[in-house]
Structure 1
Amino acid sequence: MRFLPEEEQQRLLAACFARSALTQEQLWMRYFALGGSQSLLELDAYVNGLTTLPRVDRDMLAHAVNERLDELAGPPRAPYSHSVRDGKPLHGPLKALVDLLEGAHRAPPERLPAVVAAAGRALDLRIGVYLADYDQRTLVRADTAAELDIETTVAGDVFRRAGTAVTWDAPGPTLWTVLLDGVERLGVLEIVPTDGADPDDPALREQCRWLSTLLGHLVTVTTQYGDGLDARRRRRHRGSPAELLWQSLPPLTGATESVVVGASVQPAYDLCGVVFDYALSERRARLAMFDAGPRTGEASYGVVNALAAYRAARRDGASLAEQYAAVGRELADSGAVVTGVLAELDLVTGELRWLDAGHPPPLIVRGDAVLPETEAAATGFGRPPRATEVRLRPGDVVALYSHGLAGAPDRAGKSFGRERTAGFLTGGSLPPEAARLLTQAVVTHAGGELLSDAGVVVARWLPR
């Protein structure tokens, strides 16, 4: 840090004071308000070059004069005793993050790709943003018409693994990294160094991870008040029931140190009668699914009402049985017929407890084996619940699924089946990827025509 000589500071301050149109008394009052302790006589002597002052008092005087000059809007400002660094970084990772934050401030969602491109230039990078469509089959470029298939491309592999990869094809070495909002996969970033840097450099990868994390948050936040990016993620029209249900759903992925949750629903653009929910805390993971059965125009209202009643009771601190009763009262008032299952997992002990109402019981996978299926309750929310408890082991997977998932028939009438469902939950796949692959396999099995919505919530317990 470079300090200005005291004599030079005094000379420049006196010149600025002369232009400030302040009297000695007015300057002293401003200086005193800033915390100054020198007398008016000492201040007068300093301004006239007859004495010295401690550095802190000199700087408070300079600040008092500068406040006045700011009011006059124009004259040069008085110097401080030491040089002040520029508050905004001029290059490097901090500048990139600052540029991204400042550029996104009050920016409409569709401007984010340009904002992140500008931030990338501070790191000598060219950055492109790809977002996953709602079917999670395609990655669509946010600022052009370019598309990448999730199943067959390097970018898609990065999305599926929530990881990174480097390609060496033209136009040059490219780093691909997943775009995350917390733990939810939103898409991928295409990052091309423009200064010849090695995309395998660990420091560069770390800097890109920071940008990706911040951008993921900005994508989610801006989508809440604008449609620009949301429209890019849609590959076709989404009906009003599906619009209502998607607005009611939590993120497709959630996680804490003790549990990872992934979910998926199909048909994504014509969702009609299935919703899911989860809530994670330090001690518990609460999971729920509601199913209105065959696809009808009124199905969405029944499951949304059930979901709202469940959330209201849960957030009031109600017990699992009280949450169940609250849903039953809501459905009785509306006359809707909805099945469901409410589950609660103790993240310390591994105790899983659930109440099902005419719904398939949770499917539990331990390693490559499936625990025996418990008997499903034959009644809906209108009857007293029957509680079931299971003690999980670390690494166990729990899945809540809809009637239309395991029960989806192919053209010959053969159901997808519980065993085939369990097969997608073995092998250690990440819950969000297991859920994505499972629902897409169900759609394929049904020939693209689902009689009932297929939904699944997958949770893996990983105690600390």
Structure 2
Amino acid sequence: MTDHRAERQQHSIAAALRHAELTSEELWIRYFAIGGDAGLLEIDAYVHGLGSLPPLQRDILAHAINERLDELTPPRRADYSRPTRETRPRDRSLIALVELLERAELAPPDRLRALVDAAASALDVRISMYLVDYEERHLRPWADDGAPLDVDDTLAGESFRQVRILAAEDAEPPCLWVPLLDGVERLGVLEVEVEDVTDLHDPGLRAQCRWLSMLLGHLVTLLTRYGDAVDLARLPKPRTVTGELIRSMLPPQTAGVDNFVVTGVVEPRHDVSGDAFDYALSETTATLIILDAAGHDLRSGLIAATALAAHRHARRAGQDLHGQVRTIDETIARQFGRGAFATAVLVEVDLATGRLRYLNAGHPVPLILRDGRIVKPLDGGRVPPLGSGITEHAAVGEEVLQPDDWLVLHTDGITEARDGDGEAFGGGPLVEFLRREATAGHPPPETARRLVQAVLTHQGDVPQDDVGVVLACWTAPRTMRT
């Protein structure tokens, strides 16, 4: 603790003692009872500004006074007819959260910086917010001229990748890097600057930062729908019209319930044509779809958007997998006519038992990953591509997942990506990547990010086609780690 802060603490303790209605002897008894070891004369000298105490003893003394203040009834308050609750929180962490909620009520996205500053002030820290760009390569400072931080080569990036709070003790000033989350979706990181390096290991501060991060993450996602400021901060380059169309149809990139996490990515995210995905999670069931509409222009984007809308309509109407496939097929044929189609995989997972049911409409075969190896391609449930006129009633493919199994759905932009020698990523490179990533223990969002980057690297960073992937992990109920 700096001399300035030590002096400020002494003044605050002396001021608080005047309201606590305690003599020096009474204060010393309370202080000694909770673990203080300074003598009565030392305590009396300190509170009168005539001596000093080590930081721990100052904190124990402050705690003794604060306990007494909590016991006192605020004076000159009119009585109510029955006991009432507090109208304002007293705890600093609750004050920070309430500040954030109340100030966000009518705030545009551009005002996020002011919201963060107010919450940080309540916690007696300084907070800077970094949002990950949509390509998940850089963490970009919000409302600041600072330089972006690399996701793969910085401590901030490590906090983002691993979804862990990390301390930067050698930074000036020292800081915590805190993942910014909306549920299990990673949005960026918070840089929480403190005055004293010992604060970095304060479990209370870490818990407060985690709560603030969760609430702020929800607000970032919500405010994204109210304006363009958040999108513009996260866009490395402008989207095409088709990219805007597909983006508007996609759900959040990552979501999870008690024992199931799903994440989806389409790339390039500013110029995607026909790849798309969707999911719906409930207490009992996870429903997934990944699709690839034919073509590489706005028409393919319209087909993909129509297919997603038709799937949501059928799903919400309670139709089974066959009904969903038929609704999508008929909608595409009716709206776009001959030659328009999309390949897709539709999946349902029973979250209590791991029972998996699926139909594959001309799409690359999904995979199940178990214990770091591919144990089974899901090559059943075959139907023609959607839009081609499905007349047959194929048997639904079935499998039973084991705890910690991964389900891998992808488009042909992954399997058919080729390097300079013509080797397809869908052969050995994909299998080796999945084996390596499963062994490393990365969560689904990080594995999906790394998979997309591996595919782009395989192609020399020049995309040959849209890349779409959906990764999901199921485990026994109540044991899921995200």
TM-score normalised by structure 2 residue count: 0.77
Q: Aligned residue for 1:149?
A: 150
2:376 is paired with a residue whose SS is: coil
How far does residue 163 in structure 1 lie from its aligned partner after superposition?
A: 1.1
Superposition map of 1:103-114 within 5 A: 103-114=103-114
Match among 361, 370, 374 for residue 374 of structure 2: 370
Measure, in 1, the Cα distance between the counterparts of 2:119 and 2:196: 15
Find the aligned partners of 2:90 and 2:124 in 1 and give their Cα distance: 13
SS of the residue 2:199 aligns to: coil
Q: Is the 2:180–2:189 Cα contact (8 Å) retained in structure 1?
A: yes
More deviation, 439-448/300-309: 439-448
More deviation in 426-435 or 208-217?
A: 426-435
1:379 pairs with 2:384: yes
CA shift, 1:300, in A, is: 0.4
Mapped partners of 1:217, 1:355: distance in 2:
34
Structure 2 match to 1:395: 404
The aligned residue for residue 459 of structure 2 is 446
Q: Which residue of 2 aligns with 1:23?
A: none
TM (norm. structure 1) is 0.79
Q: Secondary structure in 1 aligned to 2:288?
A: strand
The one-letter code matched in structure 2 to 1:380 is: P
Aligned runs of 1:45-444 on 2, under 5 Å? 80-81=78-79, 87-89=87-89, 92-146=92-146, 147-194=148-195, 198-333=199-334, 334-335=336-337, 336-375=340-379, 377=382, 379-381=384-386, 382-383=389-390, 384=392, 385-425=394-434, 426-427=438-439, 428-444=441-457
Larger Rg computed on CA atoms: 1
**Once the 2 structures are TM-superposed, how far is the Cα of residue 445 of structure 1 from its aligned partner?**
1.1
Paired residues, number: 387
1:455 aligns with 2:464: no
Q: Is the 8 A contact 1:109 1:229 kept in 2?
A: yes
Q: CA, structure 1 residues 368+88, in 2 after alignment: closer, same or farther (shift >3 Å)?
A: same
Does the CA contact (< 8 Å) of 1:294 and 1:451 recur in 2?
no
Aligned partners of 1:237, 1:386: CA distance in 2, in Å? Answer: 44
Q: Is the 8 A contact 1:257 1:462 kept in 2?
A: no
Show CA shifts across 1:407-432 (max 9, x none).
Answer: 11223322111443344442232111
Cα distance, 1:194 vs structure 2: 3.6
Cα distance in 2 between the residues matched to 1:256 and 1:275: 22
Does the Cα contact within 8 Å between 1:294 and 1:452 map onto a contact in 2? no
- Displacement of 1:86 in angstroms is 7.4
CA deviations on 1:363-390 (whole Å, 9 max, x unpaired) are 1111122123344747313333442111
For structure 2, the 5+ residue unaligned runs are 1-75, 478-482
- How far did 1:183 drift? 1.1
The amino acid across from 2:367 in the alignment is: L
Distance 1:220 1:272, change over 3 A: same
1:10 is matched with which residue? none
Conserved 8 A contact 2:169-2:200: no
Amino acid at match of 1:80: A
Residue 164 of structure 1 contacts residue 178 of structure 1 at CA under 8 Å; is this kept in 2? yes
Counterpart contact for 1:259–1:463, Cα < 8 Å: no
Shift in Å, 1:450: 2.2
SS of 1:298 mapped into structure 2: helix
- Quickly say closer, same or farther: Cα 1:293–1:327, change in 2 above 3 A: same
Q: Following TM superposition, by how much is the alpha carbon of 1:180 offset from its aligned partner in structure 2, in angstroms? A: 0.5
Task: Quote how far apart the aligned CAs of 1:399 are.
Answer: 1.0
The amino acid that maps onto 1:346 is D
2:174–2:196: 8 Å Cα contact kept in structure 1?
no
Superposed CA RMSD in Å reads 2.0
Gaps of 5+ in 1: 1-77
String of CA shifts for 1:20-74, please: whole Å, max 9, x gaps: xxxxxxxxxxxxxxxxxxxxxxxxxxxxxxxxxxxxxxxxxxxxxxxxxxxxxxx
Q: Give the match's secondary structure for 1:371.
A: strand
Q: Distance in 1 between matches of 2:290 and 2:395?
A: 16
Looking at structure 1, the residues matched to 234 and 209 of structure 2 have their Cα atoms a distance apart, in angstroms, of: 23
Aligned AA (2:455): V
Q: Which amino acid aligns with 2:351?
A: L
Contact residue 259 and residue 459 of structure 1 kept, 8 A: yes
Q: Quick one: structure 1 residues 422 and 286, their matched pair in 2 at CA, closer, same or farther if it must change by over 3 Å?
A: farther
The corresponding residue for 1:43 is none
Matched letter for residue 241 of structure 1: T
Distance of 1:181 and 1:164 partners within structure 2: 15
> In the aligned structure 1, how far is the partner of 2:242 from the partner of 2:178?
34
1:279 partner SS: strand
**Shift in CA distance, 418/355, structure 1 to aligned 2, threshold 3 Å:** farther
> Percent of counterpart pairs with the same letter?
44
Go from structure 1 to structure 2 and tell me whether the alpha carbon gap of 1:124 and 1:179 turns closer, same or farther (over 3 Å shift): same
